Structure 1
Amino acid sequence: MEPIRWGIVGGGEGSSIGYIHRSAATRDGYFRLTCGAFDINPERGKRFGMQLGLEESRCYASYVEMFRNESFRRDGIEAVTIATPNATHYEICRAALERNLHVICEKPLCLTSREAEELLKLAKERNRVVGVMFGYAGHQMIEQARRMVEAGELGEIRIIKAEFAHGGLSAAEDARNESLKWRLNPQVVGPSFVLADLGIHPLYLIRAIAPGLNIKRISCRRQSVVKSRAPLEDNAFVLMEYDNGAVASMWVSAVNAGSQHGLRIRIVGSKASIEWSAETPNILSFEPASGSPRVLRRGMPELYPSAMAEDRISGGHSEGLFEAWSNLYRRFAIAIRGKAFSLHEPSWYPDIEDGANAVTWIEKCLESSNQDGRWVKYESCV
């Protein structure tokens, strides 16, 4: 298909997230980077954009200037990625939608459910796609897990155990790292640290793998293990109950000393269980109630066709985060263009409703935690 004319806000020089976005979006040729507002320092942003091969006139000082100028061009952008700190997501996403641009936004979508409701309404009015970058959902074995649940291979879902607990900020002095400092500033990240930064990833994986489950109520306890981080939490425990009677527990932490990453999810059904870890993303453990456990591997012919459709290299080789993000950008492109490329093309992607649900979940977790873990009713803003 014709590449989508695409720009980026943020993600400039030295940004690892910006690099992943650019690599993933352009890998399959579905997006073409044509402009950007890469940095709060206009000169540095312009220099960086030109290093990427962009025209000097399309390396903008701000997103406001970029959206305005691009709207007057016959070859102006059709979509934009927002790769800036949390507190700016709402205003940039709103401005993009008002210019009739499709949006791919870093998580969280925004900071409050009121903001989420406004973005939902605007996206619907303008008929624009808004994708939220829950990047781990692009791994091939997440698609496999989703199809296994859909096919009834696990039976009725009963128990979910999820965690995203790394040790990257175990000590107070870790926050001196300039690339991490902003994550501990409430004015930049909002009222939550690890729930908003880490917790919504396994939350969305549950939703992606078992979309038929709906949360009924939540209980949360959160801590500032490093006391200077208060009121932001660096550790939290969340319990959830679903409408089918299933229960879930989640641990999210930035003080799990020694853990390099720590994202994993286990889903237990009446017939079988599955387990997946982001540190070994190319395998999915399948453990039936009767019979021998199996390890399903990426790229093998026994996988569901929609999982194989996302295979990028032959089986036996490892695939990683770049491939997962590329799969999601491929899905975003399909949604934006409104067409599928093959019979088994995956059609789901983390959309604005998923982003809004995550924002509501964060608020409910904070509400519960502020009442010493009291169970609170979960009501989505969607």
Structure 2
Amino acid sequence: MIYGEKLVENPIRWAMVGGGKGSQIGYIHRSAALRDFSFDLVAGAFDIDPERGKEFGKMLNVAPERCYPDYKTMFAKEAQREDGIQAVSIATPNGTHYEITKAALEAGLHVVCEKPLCFTVDEAEELGQLAKRQNKVVGVTYGYSGHQMIEEARQLIADGALGDIRIVMLQFAHGFHNVAVEENTASTKWRVDPKVAGPSYVLGDVGTHPLYLSEVMLPELNIKRLMCSRQSFVTSRAPLEDNAMTLMEYDNGAVGYVWSSCVNCGSMHGQKVRIIGEKASIEWWDEQPNQLTYEVQGEPIRILERGMGYLHESALAEDRIGGGHPEGLFESWSNLYSRFAQAMVATDNNQTVDFWYPNVEDGIEGVRWVANCVRSAEQGATWVDYE
């Protein structure tokens, strides 16, 4: 259980690119990173408008001289300081992730990056190789994976409680963009612009989240081939999709399905992961993240609760307030940032990291999945071998 004591000996000197005034995701990054004394926010290039970024940085108690006009200036100036930054989080639109991550790694910094890492598999693999050469951590903010019941699901499957896995049902289908909200909302406008968002909208924006959760739960399963059909129901979003259906076949004979959508009218989040085995099934829903449904054929349905003693020890390790109290997205992100910090310290000391976290390889896999989905859809929703 986590009681708020420091998890690393010294806080990592940390900066942000993006995440400025009005950025909801920037606030989540800071709230998560600054818990448990793992990181210390000492610098930032928070805004495309330098003065606005400096004023915002001062509100975060960042020294004005360390509020920079852009990331290139920040990396160069911080490298000249004895107390310069050691890590940076990137909370900017998708089209900038590749260049900023590459520059950060070349500057000798650890990185936490919003997904996707970049637009193409070649770029993603380049970043993976660069991270390895530089011996630096790249964490990817698949923020839902820090919920404790994801770990419980992973351990139940590893224990064989479900038997052989047969079906993987995944969805992230909300309804908030059922009309062209991007006409009046800047944070949505760039998401439907291929120059900024990349080759997809909902496949990359929401679909990769449950996909990664399934990879955490089922680390031994590999996609063999897939078929994707995507639609632009709000026609002005074409060629990017606002709805997509992806069928998958795995190397063990299991089958899977991912529904990615922002036009599921009336749905708040609609992110669910259901894993079906030969003996039992489990289901997790992000709107009720403290529960995991465990269904054994022929027995009453069980609702497993976060923080309870009957869970696996690893699922209790990051409990923060005990069973019965509701935890949420901020706790999930805090757990991930704690892992990022411990991985960074271990890597700097040439120690083995013996725990999972969403790393650069997972970021590469997300880019790879989107690329294969787009390739299938562009070929008329045909089956394609997973490359």
TM range (shorter): over 0.9
By how many angstroms is 1:346 displaced?
Answer: 7.5
- Which of residues 184, 196, 199 is equivalent to 1:176? 184
Are the counterparts in 2 of residues 162 and 249 from structure 1 also a CA contact under 8 Å? yes
CA distance in 2, matches of 1:133, 1:363: 19
% identical aligned pairs: 59
- Which of residues 301, 304, 309 is equivalent to 1:301? 309
CA distance in 2, matches of 1:243, 1:39: 45
By how many angstroms is 1:273 displaced?
Answer: 0.4
The equivalent of 2:138 in structure 1 is 130
User: Is the partner of 1:164 in helix, strand or coil?
Assistant: strand
- Which of residues 255, 279, 282 is equivalent to 2:263? 255
User: Is the partner of 2:124 in helix, strand or coil?
Assistant: helix
By how many angstroms is 1:173 displaced?
Answer: 4.2
By how many angstroms is 1:174 displaced?
Answer: 5.2
CA distance in 1, matches of 2:371, 2:202: 13
Matches within 5 A, 1:184-263: 184-263=192-271
Q: Which runs of 5+ in 1 are unaligned?
A: 340-344
The equivalent of 1:362 in structure 2 is 370
- Which of residues 145, 158, 163 is equivalent to 1:155? 163
The equivalent of 1:66 in structure 2 is 74
The equivalent of 1:56 in structure 2 is 64
Amino acid at match of 1:137: S
Give a deviation string over 1:2-41, Cα, whole Å, max 9, x none.
Answer: 1111100000000000000000001111111110000000
TM, length-normalised to structure 2 = 0.95
CA distance in 2, matches of 1:155, 1:109: 34
CA distance in 1, matches of 2:336, 2:158: 20
Are the counterparts in 2 of residues 224 and 235 from structure 1 also a CA contact under 8 Å? yes
By how many angstroms is 1:291 displaced?
Answer: 2.3
The equivalent of 1:279 in structure 2 is 287
Amino acid at match of 1:39: D
Are the counterparts in 1 of residues 181 and 188 from structure 2 also a CA contact under 8 Å? no
**Superposition CA RMSD, Å:** 1.1
Are the counterparts in 2 of residues 169 and 175 from structure 1 also a CA contact under 8 Å? no
By how many angstroms is 1:321 displaced?
Answer: 0.2
CA distance in 2, matches of 1:175, 1:72: 43
CA distance in 2, matches of 1:173, 1:362: 24
The equivalent of 1:105 in structure 2 is 113
User: Is the partner of 1:252 in helix, strand or coil?
Assistant: strand
Are the counterparts in 2 of residues 306 and 346 from structure 1 also a CA contact under 8 Å? no
Are the counterparts in 2 of residues 267 and 275 from structure 1 also a CA contact under 8 Å? yes
Amino acid at match of 2:160: G
Amino acid at match of 1:365: C
The equivalent of 1:342 in structure 2 is none
Give a deviation string over 1:290-317, Cα, whole Å, max 9, x none.
Answer: 4222100011100111111110102111
CA distance in 1, matches of 2:313, 2:291: 16
Are the counterparts in 2 of residues 331 and 349 from structure 1 also a CA contact under 8 Å? yes
CA distance in 2, matches of 1:212, 1:160: 13
The equivalent of 1:9 in structure 2 is 17
Matches within 5 A, 1:342-353: 347-353=355-361
1:84 aligns with 2:102: no
User: Is the partner of 1:222 in helix, strand or coil?
Assistant: strand
User: Is the partner of 1:273 in helix, strand or coil?
Assistant: strand
Give a deviation string over 1:320-366, Cα, whole Å, max 9, x none.
Answer: 00000000001111111118xxxxx9810010000001101111000
